[in-house]
Structure 1
């Protein structure tokens, strides 16, 4: 959900980086055989400020499988020792080895865990197998049931068929960003001339050279079906100010991106009780001075539902 589908706005490709990271990891490991050296190279070329970034972490998964060469304990320890999103990388390596060669998992690893399948209490509405063995068989059976077909993009009773996000966008010169933070400063939201645009999702990357003024203004409208204790998120690298229903609610001078509702960076979200109906979010971002890329993630989560994103809220009329 990261491509822009609007003539005149260039999307920044990322898909090829994952393949390059895997190919580089294999080449580096075959050359040195030292997972520590390869880890350093991965971080130098593909390291990311977001520790859950898929490119660096899948490279760690692949590196751990190469280093362990079928040894379960060595592989998951290598994955964990690479750092970053360690619970996920070690679990992914362990799951893959458990599927490929379950007999290679030593008793020292099996004994504390057992063979029962235990789900988190938040996972409801399914009837899971009783054991890890049966669950493994179910996963393996997916290959036969899918039969090489690509996944269905949307199911009528779950994901919306239209995942695009309509918005309005414009640019303007403002004096806010030159003054830094001023306590109690009234930003005085004034909208410039705006045009309709449709993004392919909630993660947007734009070429900032399309904008010839100091700031980019983007406006989203969303509708809630019921009163919601909401976390409204607008996460970006850029110097930004964000308004909700016409009122200034948060902003920051620049910083990292980590667009997850349960650990969004400071000054990139607000927890607020919102009524059912339409709401409007406006973000004003300083146009980057050096980088051509301007990027953000926008979303609304439900604080009373384990911070889950609220789906299909973007108004399309």
Structure 2
């Protein structure tokens, strides 16, 4: 793997940021995306002001990435399965690293199982954790979790780490996936609290109880508790529940303030619905996720959601 180019499928903000970060460290990167004119402009519309270094080669078609080493799949979770079935077949022999956070709504599985079901023959890994694309692109210090159950995890960790991007490795793929997915749901709820002006005390309580909910469901799905307490769980939760840069937090804040959210990919919307279905199958209560699922579907209003959470039976923490 040493010296091999790294492929990036997806030229959204996160895919471009990763390409820039890896190329800045001297790695050749092949980047493919749907954005017209990217090769000529050398700047993505999704990440304005960030120029692609010379080491980033913009590929005309996705099959060109098959000539690379590991391939980062930087696309929304709900698009991953369709991409692999329709356009990513040539990539399945390569080591694949999913850079999306969520649960597939149709199959109720995470990105690793989606890649395996598509016929992946190389290593299957997930890159997740507390990060904003703009920070990574600017070279600001960022630490992420690389989850890989196979022996290739260590090689991938070294191939994808840079001077400013530090990767920690875990074999608990389920825990890393669910931490990254479920925190988006709690971030929407935290945004609702902020947008509705309910105060910082309410947000602290919501995030704390949301974390307990995340851990409860993840452990029932086979995750390790320590994974949820790491970067891919608690670390990402802290970031997305405290910063308006988070699309999930911003979406919730708009809902809380009675505004129509700006149209964008907000993974927590689909994840809330998936989490409720998974929790029902495991007979686990997830009141925050259930509230978010109903709010984003406009089944209830903010006042009704707050009343429902505050009127739950008193119990021991």
TM-score (norm 1): 0.21
Q: Which of structures 1 and 2 has the bigger CA Rg?
A: 1
Greater RCO (CA < 8 Å, at least 6 residues apart): 1
Higher-strand-fraction structure? 1
